[in-house]
């Protein structure tokens, strides 16, 4: 339980902070697609008896770069490219999994997460990767800010726009893979978007938005795990439900941007 709690908090904070970019850059659909695109990678890794996390990471990065390639040619729009690759990868994953005779426990855990099954070496890996991603987000804060807010200024200031975009996609892929064990494929996208969206309603700046998001994500993980323990429901679902409750609170009562504020101002 303690290890599970630690893993959940790390993942909650990591997803939420990286998710701020997902929210401000309108990449929610992309995040969802990458999470699902992980399935075939995991299935192949399982069939080859390799490391599931490595398989997942390879698949996520392949899909991210594939979407970039398809949409850059200009022949299809980006959301169309995402839709195609998302469905294809998901189908491939389901096909591969259904060919596996024994429905292994490991695979269902990839789908829905199993935070209580976290081993001590899992915890080290999760913590190490999370620290790595967060460090890069911190170091590259200014270039990422300019590339996200104003790509034209980024080009004027001679920033490598394409490179930074791909780096951001790789960080997103890493975040999703690290989070699989705690919340599973189905719910990673929610942890990427919901705390970030909550923080968006509360903050005026990207930096404070990230702090708010991390706080909401981390607290949702703790509260969600307690909820799952006492109400006996799936842990990933409990965490996401708590995060959603926070979003609703912010949506209704956030100063300046909340529904109630706007109602009173009118």
Partner 1 sequence: MAGHGSSTAALLEASPGGVSEEPARLLLDHVNVSYGGVLVLEDLSCQIEHGDQVAIVGPNGAGKSTLFKALVGLLPLRSGRILIHGLPLGHHQDCVAYVPQREEVDWRFPVTAREVVMMGRFRRIGWLRRSRSLDEEAVQRAMHQLDIADLSSRPIGELSGGQQQRVFLARALAQEPHILLLDEPFTAVDNPTQEATLSMLDQLQRAGVTTLVSTHDLSLASERFPRVMLLNRRLVAFGPPALVFRPEAIRRAFGGQALFLDGAVVVDQCCPPGSHEDHGVKP
For the bound state, the minimum distance from the C-beta of residue 73 to partner 1, rounded and expressed in Å, comes to: 12
For the bound state, the minimum distance from the C-beta of residue 164 to partner 1, rounded and expressed in Å, comes to: 10
Q: DSSP letters of 97-136? A: HHHSSS--HHHHHHHH--GGG--HHHHHHHHHHHHHHHHH
Query: How many CB atoms neighbour CB 72 within 10 A?
Result: 11
Q: How far, in Å, CA of 75 to CA of 17, rounded? A: 33
Residue with smaller CB distance to partner 1, 99 or 265: 265
Residue with smaller CB distance to partner 1, 152 or 231: 152
175: tokens are: 């975040």
Q: How far, in Å, CA of 45 to CA of 29, rounded? A: 25
Q: Are 3 and 120 in contact (CB under 8 A)?
A: yes
Residue with smaller CB distance to partner 1, 20 or 180: 20
Dihedral through CA 197, CA 198, CA 199, CA 202, nearest 10? 120
Residue with smaller CB distance to partner 1, 29 or 229: 29
For the bound state, the minimum distance from the C-beta of residue 254 to partner 1, rounded and expressed in Å, comes to: 13
For the bound state, the minimum distance from the C-beta of residue 115 to partner 1, rounded and expressed in Å, comes to: 31
Residue with smaller CB distance to partner 1, 88 or 206: 206
Residue with smaller CB distance to partner 1, 8 or 23: 23
For the bound state, the minimum distance from the C-beta of residue 251 to partner 1, rounded and expressed in Å, comes to: 15
For the bound state, the minimum distance from the C-beta of residue 83 to partner 1, rounded and expressed in Å, comes to: 23
16 DSSP 8-state letter: H
Rg, the chain, Cα only: 19
2: tokens are: 């303690």
Q: Which residues bind partner 1 (CB under 8 A)?
A: 24, 74, 139-140, 142-143, 145-146, 148-150, 152-153, 155-159, 200, 203-206, 209, 256
> At a CB cut-off of 8 Å and minimum separation 6, what does 224 contact?
8, 235, 238, 239, 240, 241, 242, 243
For the bound state, the minimum distance from the C-beta of residue 61 to partner 1, rounded and expressed in Å, comes to: 24
Residue with smaller CB distance to partner 1, 74 or 232: 74
Residue among 60, 86, 57 nearest 71 (CA): 86
First to last CA, the chain: 49
98: tokens are: 């259904």
């Amino acid at each position: 339980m303690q290890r599970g709690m630690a893993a959940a908090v790390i993942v909650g904070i990591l997803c939420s902070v990286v998710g701020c970019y997902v929210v401000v850059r309108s990449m929610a659909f992309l995040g969802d697609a990458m999470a699902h695109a992980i399935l075939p990678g995991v299935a192949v890794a399982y069939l080859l008896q390799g490391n599931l996390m490595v398989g997942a990471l390879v698949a996520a990065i392949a899909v991210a770069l594939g979407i970039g390639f398809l949409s850059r040619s200009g022949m299809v729009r980006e959301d169309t490219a995402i839709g195609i690759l998302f469905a294809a990868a998901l189908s491939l994953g389901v096909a591969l999994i259904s060919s596996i005779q024994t429905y292994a426990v490991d695979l269902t855990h990839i789908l829905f997460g199993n935070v209580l099954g976290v081993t001590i070496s899992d915890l080290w890996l999760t913590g190490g990767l999370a620290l790595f991603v967060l460090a890069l987000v911190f170091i590259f804060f200014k270039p990422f800010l300019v590339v996200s807010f104003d790509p034209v200024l980024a080009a004027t200031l001679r920033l490598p726009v394409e490179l930074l975009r791909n780096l951001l996609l790789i960080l997103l892929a890493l975040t999703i893979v690290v989070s699989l064990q705690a919340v599973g494929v189905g719910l990673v996208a929610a942890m990427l978007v919901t705390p970030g969206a909550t923080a968006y309603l509360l903050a005026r700046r990207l930096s404070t938005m990230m702090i708010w998001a991390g706080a909401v994500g981390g607290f949702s993980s703790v509260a969600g795990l307690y909820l799952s323990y006492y109400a006996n429901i799936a842990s990933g679902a409990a965490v996401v439900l708590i995060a959603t409750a926070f979003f609703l609170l912010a949506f209704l009562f956030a100063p300046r941007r909340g529904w109630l504020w706007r109602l009173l101002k009118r």
